[in-house]
Structure 1
Amino acid sequence: MTDKATQISALLAPTVEALGLQLLGIEYLPAPGGSVVRLYIDVPEAEADARHVGIEECEAVSREVSAQLDVEDPIQGNYTLEVSSPGVDRPLFDAAQFARFTGERAKVGLKLPQDGRRRLTGTIVSVDGGTIVFDVDGQPIEVSVDNIDKARLVPDWAALGYGPARELPGDARPGKPGRKAAGKGATKPKRK
């Protein structure tokens, strides 16, 4: 998060928590003519299996936060406030969130290039303090959480029931046999 996003997050987190929710993080996107302040909220981790964030929660947070921002006025100029649930491609903002999703795939944008790359997609292997280890194409890559600009989970569309199962190179997950998808040589029945 940017310094401004961190400042706004610290200001608004108690308000969101008072509504029984958790502030995952904030994206602050300054732009000429008006900035965007996007809050990502979720239910506390202990309640994640029992309930999810709905439009009612987003509206309640929007009302309370908007009033607080009007009083505190931490943002100069015009801005648009957006409140969102994390969704299936959940953004990750801190080391604790990465640790919660160890074993999941994430797409990460880096602030500064590392190992010749600014972006990576890999499985979160472990988190040790402020260092996150990713498995990228079978190679471990350590990244400081301070060098992460943006990160999101990569949804497993097949597990969610929205796409064909994909076979990853070297995919040897126990109990999860790989499925072959139709390739270039596949033929479709022709219409008459």
Structure 2
Amino acid sequence: MDTAERIATMIAPTLEAMGFHLVRVKLIGAQRPVLQIMFERESSAPHDGGITVEDCSEVSRAVSAILDVEDPISGAYRLEVSSPGLDRPLTRKHDYERFKGFAAKLELGRPLAGRKRFKGRLAGISGEAVLLRDEETGEEQHLPFAEIANAKLVVTDDLIAASLAGRPAPVN
């Protein structure tokens, strides 16, 4: 388990007790690393826009207290706490169902049929595969969830409209 995973395990229960869901923990850089923590409210809407500056301050204080006690990072680092935003990372299988019908970019850790990068509309999950209607080929791709290195939503008019309305757009 790497440092980011250890930190996620440490802080997730506290965030859940505060009414939030941990989206991602990422440790960036080596000299003076940045510890990036993204969180959201539990919601069925694609983007509820409900994270406030006060929420970020609360989460920052709670996470700082845990990190001060546990001390998982040696040396100085900068803590960055935020909501995931519209072009949010997709980190859990549930995200691929939740954002079904929206545009996304996915990158695999190793090539599948000669490709590592895919862009298209999310079509959900089937077993251990993420389904994506490929923008390039028009075909439905079955991308192994375990092989996804990076994935995020693409900001489109329908995502913005769904965010503003606080509800999901129709599934294509």
Asked if structure 2 preserves the Cα contact closer than 8 Å seen for 1:58 and 1:83, the reply is: yes
**Secondary structure of the structure 2 residue equivalent to 1:22:** strand
Tell me which residue corresponds to 1:27.
Answer: 26
Instruction: Report the identity percentage.
Output: 35
Q: Superposition pairs for residues 19-168 of structure 1, below 5 Å? A: 19-29=18-28, 31-45=29-43, 52-137=50-135, 138-157=138-157, 160=160
Asked if structure 2 preserves the Cα contact closer than 8 Å seen for 1:123 and 1:135, the reply is: yes
CA deviations over 1:3-36 (Å, ceiling 9, x no partner): 432221111101111211111121222x231222
1:52 positional shift: 0.5
Asked if structure 1 preserves the Cα contact closer than 8 Å seen for 2:47 and 2:86, the reply is: no
Q: Distance in 2 between matches of 1:61 and 1:32?
A: 24
CA deviations over 1:153-184 (Å, ceiling 9, x no partner): 111137637xxxxxxxxxxx98xxxxxxxxxx
Query: Counterpart amino acid of 1:153?
Result: L
Q: In structure 1, list runs of 5 or more residues that go unmatched.
A: 162-172, 175-192
* Structure with greater Cα Rg: 1
Q: In structure 2, list runs of 5 or more residues that go unmatched.
A: 162-170
Change (3 A) 1:159 1:76: closer
Q: Distance in 2 between matches of 1:114 and 1:48?
A: 28
**Secondary structure of the structure 1 residue equivalent to 2:88:** coil
Tell me which residue corresponds to 2:164.
Answer: none
Q: Distance in 1 between matches of 2:51 and 2:58?
A: 11
- Between 1:74-83 and 1:87-96, the stretch displaced more is 74-83
Asked if structure 2 preserves the Cα contact closer than 8 Å seen for 1:132 and 1:145, the reply is: yes
Taking structure 1 as the reference length, what is the TM-score of the superposition?
Answer: 0.75
Asked if structure 1 preserves the Cα contact closer than 8 Å seen for 2:131 and 2:142, the reply is: yes
Taking structure 2 as the reference length, what is the TM-score of the superposition?
Answer: 0.83
Q: Which has the higher contact order (CA 8 A, sep 6+)?
A: 2
Q: Distance in 2 between matches of 1:69 and 1:101?
A: 32
Change (3 A) 1:124 1:27: same
Query: Counterpart amino acid of 1:157?
Result: D
Asked if structure 2 preserves the Cα contact closer than 8 Å seen for 1:27 and 1:37, the reply is: yes
Report which of the two has the higher share of helix: 2
Q: Distance in 2 between matches of 1:109 and 1:5?
A: 20
Asked if structure 2 preserves the Cα contact closer than 8 Å seen for 1:95 and 1:129, the reply is: no
Query: Counterpart amino acid of 2:94?
Result: A
